[in-house]
Structure 1
Amino acid sequence: MLILFNYIGADLYLNWEVTSVLKKEAFNYLTFDKGLFNFDISSNAYFINEFFQGSNIEAPIAISWVLNLLIWTFFCGLLAFSTYLKRFGFIVFAVITLLFINYIDLDSIGVFESQLGDKWMTLLWVLICLGPAYYFHAFNPKPSFLKKWLILVLINVSFLAVCANENQKFMEGFIAGSHLGIATLTFLFICFIAEEILFALLYILTQTRGSADNLKHLIIFCILYLGGLGLYWATQAGLLHFNFDIINPLYLLICSAVIGVVTIPYKQIILNKILQREFDITWLFFLLGCIALSYLNLGLTHGNDPTYDGMSYLILYAHIGFGFMFILYLIFNFIDPLVRGMQVYKIVFIDRNFPYISSKLGGLVVVLAFFLIANKGPYQKLVAAEYNYMGNSHQATGNLPLAVAYYKQGNIFAWDNHYSNYRLGKYYAQKNNFEEYVYRFYRATKKNETPFAYINLAQAYSKNNDPVRSLSLLNEGLADFPKSAEIRNNLAIQYFNNGNLKSARKIINKAGTTDKWNQAIEVNKSFMNLYEWDQKTFEAASLPLKINMLGGQLKAGQTFDPKLNPLQFTPVNLHSLSLLINANLMGDHTALHLTSDTLLKTIKSGDWNRAILESQALGLYRTGYINRAFRKLDILLTLSNSLEKGIVLEMMGKMALQNSAPKLAIELFTKSKKYGNLKGDHNLLIAALESQNWSLAKSFLNSLMEKDSAQFSLSELIDPIIKGQNDESVTYFYYRPEEFEWGDVSLLSSFNAHDLQIIWGKYKQQLITIGREEKIKEIYEDFQSLLPDVHKNILKNKTLPHVKELNINENAFDELGIVNRVTDANADLDSTYSLLVEAIEINPYSIPLLKAYCFTSIQMGLSEYADSGYMRLMELLSTQEMNTFAVSYYDAQQLQKSQASVWK
């Protein structure tokens, strides 16, 4: 398990969190031409970047509980073992246990309302531990070891279980209090088995009787073994400056423990000296070994690196010290048997002039020497580990200031330890203390570094607008952890956002898989346009991936039916709202618009409300629901500030211009200019040309040239049009289509189909506007025999196959369609009136619609409303045109009055 946990590393106690960052990319949603000019209606496609960052340190609860249960189960085994000791040995063991339990101090943890300073819970536990052990030692030694162990386990574990049930935060405090005591038992185990590798070597060399070179081989192998350990220690101590990290002390301990399974029974003779009854030493080895390994696994599980750092040094010191003294012990006592090839391993632990216990004491002296040379470094690291555990305990109880103080002390005792700095980094990140946040995560990358620390530090610099430092750290992290898909992901996005597309794509394409709960790599690949997908892939994708898929389709100008379920937009968050906006922009999805309307009633964020309304308006407009689109934009105006109102009004003006309503466009562009839109004069020039308001066009052209001398080239193109200088060009006839000689076949034939379509479309709209629909039919009937089929189709103005036929109930700019509906003898008068009211509200400068409104109002007996329309027409029509209309208007009124009198 120790090897497994060491291999898993930080993934045991740290998890990845995915942070979604919204990216808005402007693109041309719709484009169209008006004469000399190209127009675009822009919008924002929403994309999601997903960054990884490290979570808070959280030990897996189940594993932590199991390891603690194992530690105290095997400690109960030691209590059972103590009953086999001689009286003095038992007393020593009892005193040590008493001190250990007192140090844990259950009262300070807060069990059964006990408090710091109370000792009654501690005394109770002492009685529970030592009472049964004393009974078995002094009064009833007959039960077997396993029975004693089982009884002690049931008593102690039951007591601790009751404590844990009474205080939900018991475990954190208990781990902190017991840490140094368990560390002491672990050190005893290390001392117990420190020379087992050398004993195994002795066993192998002397197993065969009569070998003459045993001593020489033993010395050579011991020099190599101890020399390697010494060299590793020298590099770790900074005495030698080169890399010699081929030894892992934890694996060295495991190797000694495995060998000890076979070699430990040879030490039975030594253990018997302190026993009053026979006891198998293998059990003692097993109990101490399980405690030690469980303790180290607990440190790995929590990520408390001072634990295994401190123990790693003690493992190294013990193997060097006890190994060296064991070699001296062999040479002083068994040099002759070794030379003669005797089976020394059988007699190595029998008393000699240089006792084995003396070699053990000598080994402790050597360990102490290393310990003092290191300035008590291992002990300080173990104390730091205890402080880290204490910090966890106080953090669990909500006492953050005290927890932070313990973490800081832990960092002082074990400088640059990952655990303390990572905890502090997360704390200061929550407090938005950038300097401390950066400093702590920077220190966390200096020793026992993890990809989590590198990414958190890089993210800190990125949030502080320092992308260069962030990139440097991610590259450094990638060098240390080349297989980390999370580092590759963040690094690729940083490169991409900085414009280095080649490096970004190269790095992310090499990224492996991440945890199954996220699709961050796929999300960012789709953002970089590196992800191939289809309808089936889309349906199975996560929300962020769907957002990027739709965003890519929008930017590419491609259509796609997302077939989204309204349930996907709950709960309301960054992902669901971004997906809704992109889906709205895709076009006509009634269910989505209903969902949008519902959300608009509940969302309090003005930014999101405006974004949803704009996406609705554009999506509706794109699919022919023009009236609804304008109503959405009207609502959007009420939610916008001055600058935003200018943008919305410009958008509405462009829509009016595309639908051949230049007078409305002039009104909207004028309002947009008042709100600070810098393109106001340019837009107004185009609208003035479209409406044939030559004086207004000249005024805005002059204004543009005053602001930008580069506009003189534009003046050369427009001036002849304004002045009426016919050069028989497409541009001239577009703006003055009434001058085109439709009866001149040679002139018609000189233009291609596309140009004729443009000129005819403009002329047809002009005829509709002035109420000359019969002229359209006249031109077609007079000249259809003279024109090629393609030209006939153009004059008919057939819609192109890729354009959706608009519903006149949703298009106030379809003047001819609405007028035809109104004049239809079978049309319902109320419905046609409602149709006209809505159309005029959206398209108030339409002369045909206003005329139809006047007549319909008269028919319905609404003379006041008819008069309001009449007054509006007086502002739009010339005197001659108004006089002509007035005759029809008064005739209609008289007819209505006569019909009303007849009815009476």
Structure 2
Amino acid sequence: MYALAFWKNWPLKDRWYLGVLAAAGCLAISLFWLHYSQNPAPAIEWEHYQQLQTNEVTTRSFSVGLLEVPVKADNLFVFETQAGSSLTVAPLPAYGSLILFLFSVSILLALVTTLSRLWFLAGMLAFSLLIVSLGLEATEILEQTNKYPSWVLLFVLICVCYYFHAFAAHVSFYVRWVAIIIVFAIAGLCISWLATVQVPFLHLAAHSYTASVAITIIFILLVGHEIPATFITLLTQGTRQTKSLQHFLLLSAFYLLNLLLAYAREIGYLTWNIWTVNAYFLLVLSTVVGLWGFLQRQRQGDTLFADETLATWFYLALAIIAFATLSTLLASDNENATDVLHDIIMYSHLGYGIIFIFYVIANFGPMLMQNLQVHKVLYKPNIMHFVTFRIMGFITCIAFMFFDTSYGTLVNQLYASYYNAQGDVYYYLGADKTAEAYYNKSVFYRNQNHHAHYALASIQESRLEPTQQKNELASICVSSPSEYAYVNLSTLLREGNEPYQALFLLNKAHKKFPQSGAVQNALGITYAQLNVSDSALLSFQAARQDAIFKTEAETNLLAASAKFKIKFPADSLLQLLGANQEGALANAMALANLQQIPINKEYVPSADTLWTPKRVTYLCNYLINRAPHVDTTLLSTLVEIARKPVNEFYTEAIIVAAAHAYYAQGSVKKAMDLTREMAFASGRGRYYSLLATWLLEQGNASVAARYFEIAKEKKVAHSLLYEALAYTEADSLNLAKPLWDSLLVSGDKTDSTFARTLLPALTTKTPATLTDTEKYWYCRYRVPLSDSARFFSIVRSFSNPDLRTRALLEASKKWYRQDEPEIAAMYLNRIEAPPATSALGADLLLTRLFLLAKLNPEAFRKQNLASVSELIQTYPNEITLLTGWQTPGNHGEQAARYEHLAYANIYFEDGLIAAADYFANTGTDRLKPYTILMSGLIAIPNSIKLLKAHIRYAAQIGFNEQAQQSLDKLKSLIAPRTFNRFIQANPDIFSIED
């Protein structure tokens, strides 16, 4: 290295051209490192899949007498799996490599024309072989499948090159290069226009394999000694160096020791887990320092070229071809060729490195001992000539090769890679049969052939031949194992209902790839399928250590926690993991829903309206977990997006989850409408069961019974029990008793036990013989509401004060629904024992407040409602109405409050009547209050309160016929004395009839 910036004194055009070649070389090296870091991508990449699983959870429950009726919701959790993609042939790296290859060949051909006659003839012979190897016949120019196109191109180029060599020797290199580039461009245009095959340049790229690999091997051998040569230059270029020989030997010994350790690990002689230098890094380093070394030989007379600029172009052209070739081989995951080239790099640096040390000692040992500037005469030997060094170095490389493997093995690997490249072209074109033939020929030359077997597995997958696909993947696992093959084969085994074989295979994979997150994740999925909870959780935890699969592992860890219903609090687990990705949040909420724990996390918005399983899982679980707090605008938006055709697969799940949120916020009608729509559209029994449950909670037991009957026909668990209960609640004992009898012989012990408890109360004629629990049921279903003496007599006989409280409270509520608040209050005043449960206490408090509001409004307005504000999540509409009665607020607040009550719950009589009254007094639309009342009567046709309100308002607006119809119905439902009292209370509308 006489000067680092050797180009300083070059003409401007040479410096510009050097810049172009340096940029091309940097591009080739950058592409090489890019594809090295991504290998085996883009040929094989991890494809990520999301698998939805569902279980039912109890979001809450409500009491029907002493029976807790659960409200069920679909709880989703998502597992994220990965699989190796089908083989992908990416033409872009191949085209890029072909361009760099032809660009460099044009430079080499221009350089050949500057050589002496002997070297010119040798160069043209090599170039002729290169043109023939390109296989222009594969492009079928003008449908020609012979060598004529190759001969024509070769003839034109030989004529051009001979002209410059023999008749225009004075012409500059750049003119020669441009002329050759023009010929190449014309040839490219002819191929583009006249070729009859698809992607002709992809065929050329595949056929350039032979020449490009040969040039790459030559270049690797050319730079094999450059690192020790650089040691000499660095150690001897100063003027005050000391102990040059010792320093050189020490550096060389360290360098060669590292190479020997790497070689020993490569051939399997050592299994130590120690760091050794990367062979490709050595090649890049040798390439960079080799440019100065090559010019050093040029200046010392050991070169073919008369000018150092031409030597530079030659060296850089070879380097560009070498790295472009390596880049393409890595991008296509053609591992047999890369393995060979990797080994040759090791052989080259070892063989030429060792012999170069002897070359230096033999020729310049005394000079080094005298600390002279040996680098100035490094390529002017006087004992061992440089050609001798080259021959001996090559022999040493061959020796290392034979110690590692055999010549035939390397050749077979190169043949196998060639046929892989050919197969890739036809695989890209979709010509599976031709591609399969090439891949099989590749396997013939080298069975340890990941690329060919993987391609064959991809072809079998496209043909829906899982057995043949398994065979190809199994061949990879035996001969050239990879994570992709193990994971894909285990997936096929799991899908084929062979989970234990998949588990055995993945355990082998774990031994082979102990740090692989993909293998650990697949192990966790398999353990989860086998319901081995501890091993599944441990596998997912181990997969978290792999940064690439950390997110998927955390998602799966929480999914498995939900699947196996672990007891550790979901919010604490989420905080412990530190996971904030959507999948982890979705599964954490699934676990929280199981544990009935709210997760106080802000909603994670997304602008994408095309939903993934992970997104749907998050949305559904969020809507269930945060049901009382979800913004209604968000709910309507989600329902709208769910109805889009692109989300058709997820429509049911999202809409039913949104219905749960609507119900929790008091929008019962909206919730039931959405659920009813999904039930009718899908026919799923659990949706009918959900509708029936809500109807039972709202007091519409007769309709609930019919929905439970549909759910029973669709095999929904416990539907028979709830159908019997609903008919009993609806006072249809003649329909309920056969169902209770069926439950006695039910296979479900819980259902049959409850039936045995209830049946005596429904059938006995002597309640005195019943237990307290049976007496409670007897009072609920057998004692008429008007028979207060009998009711009080039985209640007083209760030894359990809590049952007495329940019975009195329920009787009070029944009288309140009959619009008899005085009688209801009288029943309530008989309660002495405090409620045993918080739910019963809340119900009692709420009933008292409603009675107080009806009987003594002034006293009600003085009440502090802070104690009941916490109940808004359980009784949203009731608390809204009570708040409106006590603190009316401004007109806007009142209007919004009653607008909600008017349409939220058509089973909430007080809310409908209050809304109708408000709009009758403040609005101009006279039909709106009437419509509100009619909506309630359609849902509850026998509602005493709604009938009275309807009669009053219909008469007020002149709908006399409708008022009379309601009056007749009311008369049939209540006692004459009560009816006359109603007439007397409205003298401006009715006349008293005796």
TM tier, smaller: 0.7 to 0.9
**2:896 matched to which residue of 1?**
none
Distance 2:308 2:291 in 1: 19
Q: 2:758 aligns with which of 718, 721, 743?
A: 718
Distance 1:32 1:784 in 2: 21
Q: Say yes or no: does 1:133 pair with 2:148.
A: no
Q: 1:142 aligns with which of 155, 170, 178?
A: 170
Q: What's the offset of the Cα at 1:177?
A: 1.3
- Residue correspondence of structure 1 range 161-240 to structure 2 within 5 A: 162=189, 169-192=199-222, 235=267
Secondary structure in structure 2 of the residue aligned to 1:23: strand
**2:672 matched to which residue of 1?**
630
Q: What's the offset of the Cα at 1:27?
A: 0.7
In 1, are the aligned partners of 2:574 and 2:588 still within 8 Å (CA)? no
In 2, are the aligned partners of 1:742 and 1:779 still within 8 Å (CA)? no
Secondary structure in structure 2 of the residue aligned to 1:32: strand
Please report the RMSD computed on the Cα atoms of aligned residues, expressed in angstroms. 5.9
**2:876 matched to which residue of 1?**
804
In 1, are the aligned partners of 2:950 and 2:966 still within 8 Å (CA)? no
- Give the letter aligned to residue 414 of structure 1: R
Structure 2: unaligned runs, 5 residues or longer: 1-28, 238-242, 562-568, 836-840, 851-867, 879-900
- Give the letter aligned to residue 939 of structure 2: I
**2:775 matched to which residue of 1?**
732
**1:764 matched to which residue of 2?**
812
Q: 1:842 aligns with which of 932, 939, 950?
A: 939
Distance 2:967 2:713 in 1: 28
Question: Do the aligned partners of residues 822 and 428 (structure 1) sit closer, same or farther apart at CA in structure 2, a change above 3 Å counting?
Answer: same
Q: What's the offset of the Cα at 1:471?
A: 4.0
Q: What's the offset of the Cα at 1:172?
A: 2.4
Distance 1:378 1:496 in 2: 44
Question: Do the aligned partners of residues 57 and 155 (structure 1) sit closer, same or farther apart at CA in structure 2, a change above 3 Å counting?
Answer: farther
Question: Do the aligned partners of residues 328 and 767 (structure 1) sit closer, same or farther apart at CA in structure 2, a change above 3 Å counting?
Answer: closer
Question: Do the aligned partners of residues 675 and 483 (structure 1) sit closer, same or farther apart at CA in structure 2, a change above 3 Å counting?
Answer: closer
Question: Do the aligned partners of residues 596 and 383 (structure 1) sit closer, same or farther apart at CA in structure 2, a change above 3 Å counting?
Answer: same
Secondary structure in structure 2 of the residue aligned to 1:188: helix
Q: What's the offset of the Cα at 1:104?
A: 0.9
Question: 1:481-504 CA distances to partner (integer Å, 9 max, x unpaired)?
Answer: 455444444444444454444444
Secondary structure in structure 2 of the residue aligned to 1:410: helix
Distance 1:253 1:247 in 2: 11
**1:309 matched to which residue of 2?**
339
Distance 1:104 1:23 in 2: 54
Q: What's the offset of the Cα at 1:637?
A: 3.6
Question: Do the aligned partners of residues 835 and 109 (structure 1) sit closer, same or farther apart at CA in structure 2, a change above 3 Å counting?
Answer: same
Distance 2:383 2:721 in 1: 107
Distance 2:573 2:262 in 1: 62
Question: Do the aligned partners of residues 43 and 503 (structure 1) sit closer, same or farther apart at CA in structure 2, a change above 3 Å counting?
Answer: same
- Residue correspondence of structure 1 range 626-705 to structure 2 within 5 A: 626-641=668-683, 644=684, 646-677=685-716, 679-691=718-730, 698-705=737-744
- Give the letter aligned to residue 419 of structure 1: H
Q: 2:443 aligns with which of 390, 411, 416?
A: 411
Question: Do the aligned partners of residues 419 and 126 (structure 1) sit closer, same or farther apart at CA in structure 2, a change above 3 Å counting?
Answer: same
- Give the letter aligned to residue 870 of structure 2: P
- Residue correspondence of structure 1 range 24-173 to structure 2 within 5 A: 24-56=54-86, 67-106=97-136, 108-109=138-139, 114-117=142-145, 121-123=149-151, 125-126=153-154, 129-143=157-171, 147=174, 150-151=177-178, 154-155=181-182, 158-159=185-186, 162=189, 169-173=199-203
Q: Say yes or no: does 1:619 pair with 2:661.
A: yes
**2:633 matched to which residue of 1?**
591
Question: Do the aligned partners of residues 591 and 68 (structure 1) sit closer, same or farther apart at CA in structure 2, a change above 3 Å counting?
Answer: same
**2:415 matched to which residue of 1?**
383
- Give the letter aligned to residue 838 of structure 1: S
Distance 1:20 1:825 in 2: 51
Secondary structure in structure 2 of the residue aligned to 1:812: coil
Distance 2:985 2:332 in 1: 91
**1:394 matched to which residue of 2?**
426
Question: 1:645-684 CA distances to partner (integer Å, 9 max, x unpaired)?
Answer: x433332332232223334433433444455556343223
Distance 2:277 2:827 in 1: 97
Distance 2:966 2:282 in 1: 99
Distance 2:842 2:305 in 1: 115
Worse-superposed segment, 467-476 or 865-874: 865-874
Distance 1:298 1:677 in 2: 59
Distance 2:843 2:131 in 1: 103
**1:291 matched to which residue of 2?**
321
Q: Say yes or no: does 1:425 pair with 2:465.
A: no
- Give the letter aligned to residue 932 of structure 2: L
Distance 1:298 1:732 in 2: 86
- Give the letter aligned to residue 696 of structure 2: L
Question: Do the aligned partners of residues 29 and 296 (structure 1) sit closer, same or farther apart at CA in structure 2, a change above 3 Å counting?
Answer: same
Question: Do the aligned partners of residues 565 and 858 (structure 1) sit closer, same or farther apart at CA in structure 2, a change above 3 Å counting?
Answer: farther
Question: Do the aligned partners of residues 53 and 740 (structure 1) sit closer, same or farther apart at CA in structure 2, a change above 3 Å counting?
Answer: farther
Worse-superposed segment, 42-51 or 314-323: 314-323
In 2, are the aligned partners of 1:756 and 1:794 still within 8 Å (CA)? no
- Residue correspondence of structure 1 range 252-401 to structure 2 within 5 A: 284=314, 287-312=317-342, 356=388, 359=391, 363=395, 374=406, 376-401=408-433
- Give the letter aligned to residue 37 of structure 1: L
Question: Do the aligned partners of residues 898 and 86 (structure 1) sit closer, same or farther apart at CA in structure 2, a change above 3 Å counting?
Answer: same
Q: 1:17 aligns with which of 47, 50, 60?
A: 47
- Give the letter aligned to residue 762 of structure 1: E
Question: 1:41-78 CA distances to partner (integer Å, 9 max, x unpaired)?
Answer: 21112333222333455577776555444433333332
**2:490 matched to which residue of 1?**
458
Secondary structure in structure 2 of the residue aligned to 1:805: helix
In 1, are the aligned partners of 2:516 and 2:546 still within 8 Å (CA)? no
In 2, are the aligned partners of 1:12 and 1:60 still within 8 Å (CA)? yes
Distance 1:514 1:750 in 2: 65
The TM-score, its normalising length taken from structure 1, stands at 0.76
Question: Do the aligned partners of residues 889 and 116 (structure 1) sit closer, same or farther apart at CA in structure 2, a change above 3 Å counting?
Answer: farther
Distance 2:130 2:414 in 1: 16
Distance 1:676 1:346 in 2: 91
Question: Do the aligned partners of residues 390 and 740 (structure 1) sit closer, same or farther apart at CA in structure 2, a change above 3 Å counting?
Answer: farther
Secondary structure in structure 2 of the residue aligned to 1:571: coil
Secondary structure in structure 2 of the residue aligned to 1:429: helix
Question: Do the aligned partners of residues 790 and 493 (structure 1) sit closer, same or farther apart at CA in structure 2, a change above 3 Å counting?
Answer: closer
Structure 1: unaligned runs, 5 residues or longer: 900-904
Question: Do the aligned partners of residues 162 and 578 (structure 1) sit closer, same or farther apart at CA in structure 2, a change above 3 Å counting?
Answer: farther
Question: Do the aligned partners of residues 854 and 430 (structure 1) sit closer, same or farther apart at CA in structure 2, a change above 3 Å counting?
Answer: farther
Question: 1:455-496 CA distances to partner (integer Å, 9 max, x unpaired)?
Answer: 333333333333334444444444444554444444444444
Q: What's the offset of the Cα at 1:22?
A: 1.7
- Give the letter aligned to residue 450 of structure 2: H
Question: Do the aligned partners of residues 58 and 630 (structure 1) sit closer, same or farther apart at CA in structure 2, a change above 3 Å counting?
Answer: closer
In 1, are the aligned partners of 2:779 and 2:791 still within 8 Å (CA)? no
In 1, are the aligned partners of 2:947 and 2:966 still within 8 Å (CA)? no
- Residue correspondence of structure 1 range 474-513 to structure 2 within 5 A: 474-510=506-542, 511-512=544-545
Give the aligned length: 873
Secondary structure in structure 2 of the residue aligned to 1:762: helix
Distance 2:490 2:833 in 1: 74
The TM-score, its normalising length taken from structure 2, stands at 0.70
